[in-house]
């Protein structure tokens, strides 16, 4: 068998995830705040990228174009002119809105109340810092301070102690009685009841500090918290030989106590949602405006590149690489805004009844419906709807909210699951508190009145998802 060398040509297509493509995909799924942070980081790292000013942008570009001609050789100037021609992305934010840029600027010129400088910088005190401050103002010895720090370090977010006395004694190198003495003093610091080991101990400490000496109240808190939680009121009234009205007074007094004294000192900062777009109704039509606030308008600093004459190929390659990076970032941002606008436009078209009347009119919708409507892939729609919010006439909603499963109607139609949740919430909000409606009764009401075929367990699942308790726990005795 003879061996021979042979050349063959083969043409094939394959998807290559270039760094630029990875960056574009990453920008799609970033939230608004993450996007701002990413753009600011790129502005710091890329010397050819700058934030342009609206009124100075056009003269600056003209000057840059004039500087390209006489400097450098002809090939470099031609390349830079071509880059400049393709870098017309500084208006990418204003291109996608149902109204013009001038009307948007007029709407955004709203007077806002300023905040005091110290109010913006003041930090929220933590539970550990608050208790440590009180310990150092008290006549604690060095040994007691060490024990107190061990106790404070073992508290959870609600202010409860999650370590045994033996473990605390071992951590602080002290005896159990010494730890118990310091714990007793700590529990009477502000907030009263902190470092308790059980809810009963927490409430009893507050009863002692506030000066309540009623033996029935103390016994209710010490031995019958579970009965109160499960609303076993009649056996309790019979045991203590009191009327239901008197028991109600005890309940109202217990409700003034704080079962989670450390919750108000949460260490996490609140997260505020900044909508990526606004949807308004104007003249019978819905207008989409993308949120431009805080987003820098990017521009390529061609003056910088024109004035620098690279001495070697390495410097030249560096500048060209940074120029391509700046162009690609602006193009990716343009594509992101364009995709977001198209997806929002499709959502408004599919969910027009929601924007007209509210959540109860939300219709079933899946990613494929929007993807087919705007001729994009489902994964692109999924990425652009992640961590994005839109302000509507009925509140701020995540874009994922508009995609929901369907339930069948008796007439052969369908209704969205979010609409059913809103109906269940409305039924429960209008019920008699002394005779709450059961899940089975809610399912029957939805079937009889709205022809929605839904099982009792589905009602229970939706109710639990909305954080609504069962009918037995919603029932009010008094």
Using CA atoms, how far residue 303 sits from 40, 75, 156, 241, 319, in Å, is 21, 17, 57, 90, 13
Same domain assignment for residues 35 and 134: no
Q: What is the pLDDT of residue 410?
A: 65
Same domain assignment for residues 237 and 356: no
Q: What is the pLDDT of residue 17?
A: 66
Q: Cα(152)–Cα(160) distance, rounded to whole angstroms? A: 10
CATH number where 237 lies: 1.10.10.1330
Is residue 12 assigned to a domain?
no
Same domain assignment for residues 350 and 433: no
Is residue 432 assigned to a domain?
yes
Is residue 389 assigned to a domain?
no
Q: Is the dihedral of CA 179, 184, 187, 190 positive or negative?
A: negative
Is residue 379 assigned to a domain?
no
Same domain assignment for residues 285 and 180: no
Is residue 385 assigned to a domain?
no
Same domain assignment for residues 250 and 302: no
Helix (H, G, I), strand (E, B) or coil at 97: strand
Is residue 334 assigned to a domain?
yes
Q: What is the pLDDT of residue 88?
A: 47
Q: Per residue of the chain (478 residues), what is the pLDDT tens digit?
A: 578 888 888 888 876 666 767 777 888 888 888 888 888 888 888 888 888 765 544 443 433 344 334 434 444 555 555 544 554 444 444 556 565 544 544 444 444 445 444 445 556 678 888 999 999 998 999 999 999 999 999 999 889 999 999 999 999 899 999 999 999 999 999 999 999 999 999 999 999 999 998 999 999 999 998 888 888 888 999 999 999 999 999 999 999 999 999 888 765 566 677 889 999 988 888 999 998 887 778 888 777 767 777 777 787 788 888 888 888 888 888 888 899 999 999 999 999 988 988 888 888 888 899 999 999 888 888 888 888 999 999 889 989 889 887 776 766 667 777 788 888 888 888 888 888 888 888 888 888 877 788 888 888 888 888 888 888 778 776 6
CATH number where 447 lies: 1.10.10.60
Domain limits at 314? 21-97+278-374
Among left, alpha and beta (phi > 0; psi -120 to 50; other), residue 390 is: beta
Q: What is the pLDDT of residue 266?
A: 64
Last-in-domain residue among 235, 264, 293: 264
Same domain assignment for residues 336 and 368: yes
Same domain assignment for residues 74 and 154: no
Q: What is the pLDDT of residue 149?
A: 92
Same domain assignment for residues 224 and 328: no
CB 286 within 8 A of CB 355: yes
Q: What is the pLDDT of residue 271?
A: 67
Is residue 111 assigned to a domain?
no
Work out how many domains the chain is built from and give that number: 3
Same domain assignment for residues 328 and 298: yes
Question: What is the pTM for the complete model shown?
Answer: 0.61
Same domain assignment for residues 148 and 257: yes
Q: Cα(64)–Cα(39) distance, rounded to whole angstroms? A: 23
Q: What is the pLDDT of residue 478?
A: 64
Same domain assignment for residues 31 and 81: yes
> At which residue do the structure tokens 């390209």 appear?
68
Among left, alpha and beta (phi > 0; psi -120 to 50; other), residue 284 is: left
Supply the DSSP string of 420-458, one letter for each residue. HHHHHHHHHHTSBTTBPPPHHHHHHHHHHHH-B---HHH
Is residue 314 assigned to a domain?
yes
Phi, psi angle pair for 290, to nearest 5°: -75, 145
Maximum distance among all alpha carbons in the chain? 110
Same domain assignment for residues 210 and 294: no
């Amino acid at each position: 068998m003879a061996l021979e060398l042979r050349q063959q040509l083969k043409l094939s297509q394959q998807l290559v995830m270039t760094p630029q493509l990875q960056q574009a995909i990453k920008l799609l799924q970033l939230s608004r705040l993450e996007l701002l942070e990413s753009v600011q980081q790129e502005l710091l790292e890329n010397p050819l990228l700058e934030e342009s000013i609206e009124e100075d942008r056009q003269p600056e570009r003209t000057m840059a174009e004039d500087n390209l001609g006489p400097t450098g050789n002809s090939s470099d100037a031609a390349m830079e002119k071509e880059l400049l021609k393709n870098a017309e992305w500084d208006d990418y934010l204003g291109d996608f809105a149902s109204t013009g840029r001038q009307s948007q600027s007029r709407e955004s010129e709203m007077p806002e109340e300023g905040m005091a400088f110290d109010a913006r910088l003041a930090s929220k005190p933590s539970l550990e810092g608050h208790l440590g401050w009180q310990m150092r103002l008290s006549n604690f010895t060095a040994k007691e301070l060490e024990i107190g720090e061990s106790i404070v370090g073992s508290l959870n977010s609600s202010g409860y102690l999650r370590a045994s006395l033996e473990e605390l004694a071992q951590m602080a190198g002290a005896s159990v009685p010494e730890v118990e003495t310091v714990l007793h003093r700590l529990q009477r610091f502000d907030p009263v009841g902190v470092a308790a080991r059980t809810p009963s101990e927490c409430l009893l400490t507050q009863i002692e500090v506030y000066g309540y000496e009623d033996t029935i109240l103390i016994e209710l808190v010490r031995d019958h918290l579970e009965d109160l939680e499960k609303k076993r009121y009649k056996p309790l009234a019979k045991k203590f030989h009191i009327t239901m009205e008197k028991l109600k007074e005890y309940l109202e007094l217990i409700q003034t106590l704080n079962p989670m004294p450390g919750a108000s000192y949460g260490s996490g900062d609140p997260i505020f949602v900044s909508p990526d777009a606004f949807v308004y109704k104007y003249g019978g039509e819905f207008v989409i405006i993308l949120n431009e606030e805080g987003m820098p308008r990017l521009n390529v600093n061609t003056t910088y590149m024109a004035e620098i004459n690279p001495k070697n190929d390495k410097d030249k390659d560096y500048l060209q690489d940074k120029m391509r990076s700046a162009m690609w970032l602006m193009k990716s941002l343009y594509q992101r805004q364009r995709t977001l606008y198209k997806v929002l436009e499709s959502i408004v078209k599919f969910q027009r009844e929601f924007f007209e009347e509210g959540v109860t009119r939300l219709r079933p919708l899946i990613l494929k419906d929007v993807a087919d409507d705007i001729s994009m892939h489902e994964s692109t729609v999924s990425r652009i709807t992640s961590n994005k919010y839109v302000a509507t006439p009925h509140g701020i909603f995540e874009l994922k909210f508009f995609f929901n499963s369907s339930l069948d109607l008796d007439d052969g139609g369908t209704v969205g699951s979010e609409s059913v949740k809103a109906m269940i919430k409305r039924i429960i909000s209008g019920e008699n508190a002394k005779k709450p409606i059961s899940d089975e009764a809610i399912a029957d009401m939805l079937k009889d009145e709205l022809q929605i075929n839904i099982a009792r367990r589905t009602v229970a699942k939706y109710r639990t998802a909305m954080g609504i308790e069962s009918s037995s726990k919603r029932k009010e005795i008094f």
